[in-house]
Amino acid sequence: MAYRKTEHYDETVTNGLMNHYKEILNLLGENSEREGLLKTPERIAKAMQFMTQGYEQNAVEILNSAKFHEPISEMVIVKDIELYSLCEHHLLPFIGKAHVAYIPNGWITGLSKIARVVDIFSRRLQVQERLTVEILDAIKEALQPLGVAVVIEAKHLCMMMRGVSKQNSSTTTSAFFGEFENDRTRSEFMKLISAELH
């Protein structure tokens, strides 16, 4: 039996994007009818829908789908969450990792849901600064915790491939709420995400 990959895409959106990408290839001086490029517009159209699927997802609903009552108030950290996003200024990728923590106030959520929240907001056209705050706001709204902290470290291909062409630069953004605005709690979080505990 032959291999058949099954994916689901909006046909209207796919066809519209394909037409535009075909025209882009021609405007760049390429021949969109040559063998190597014949399926490129379709591939890009589907890739773009995959990489922006976060628009169709609700982070608060995801967190609430695995929300459990627990009478604890100790820091919960999920660190080194891989993220892949598209810079909204150049539509080039930025790639990195997120470190997310919260202090429960009677409610916890499934650990995988924290990673899902990062994915939902990453899979949109983004700037790293807004991405950081959106992750924090979703956790804050769903769990109403005593505190939330988000730190993102990423490399931006718009800086590496074009413009200043700085391959070794990285960008760090952070957002803190509640108990994490306290120096001691924030310092503990920063120490823990920097530590090699393995």
Q: Are residues 120 and 37 in the same domain?
A: no
Structural domain containing residue 35: 11-51
Which amino acid is present at 51?
A: M
Q: Are residues 31 and 121 in the same domain?
A: no
Residue 45, in any domain of the structure = yes
pLDDT at 86: 98
pLDDT tens digits for range 42-60: 999 999 999 999 999 999 9
Residue 180, in any domain of the structure = yes
Q: pTM to 2 decimals?
A: 0.92
Q: Are residues 125 and 63 in the same domain?
A: yes
pLDDT tens digits for range 128-172: 999 999 999 999 999 999 999 999 999 999 888 887 777 778 999
How many degrees, rounded to 5, is the angle at CA 169 between CA 197 and CA 100? Answer: 40
Rg of the chain over Cα atoms, rounded to whole angstroms, equals: 20
Number of folded domains that form the chain = 2
Q: Which tokens sit at 156?
A: 């931006």
Band (pLDDT 50/70/90 cuts) for residue 178 is very high
CATH number at residue 46: 1.10.286.10
- Catalogue the active-site residues: 87-90, 128, 156, 158
Tell me which H or E stretch contains 174: strand 171-178
Dist. CA 7–CA 44, nearest whole Å: 14
Which amino acid is present at 22?
A: K
The Cβ of residue 78 has, within 10 Å, a number of other Cβ atoms equal to 18
Q: What is the pLDDT averaged over residues 107-126?
A: 98
Maximum separation of any 2 CA atoms in the chain, in Å: 63
Q: Are residues 70 and 94 in the same domain?
A: yes
Dist. CA 62–CA 141, nearest whole Å: 12
Q: Which residue has the higher pLDDT, 118 or 8?
A: 118
Integer distance in angstroms from the first to the last C-alpha of the chain? 44
Asked whether the predicted pLDDT for residue 98 surpasses 70, the reply is yes
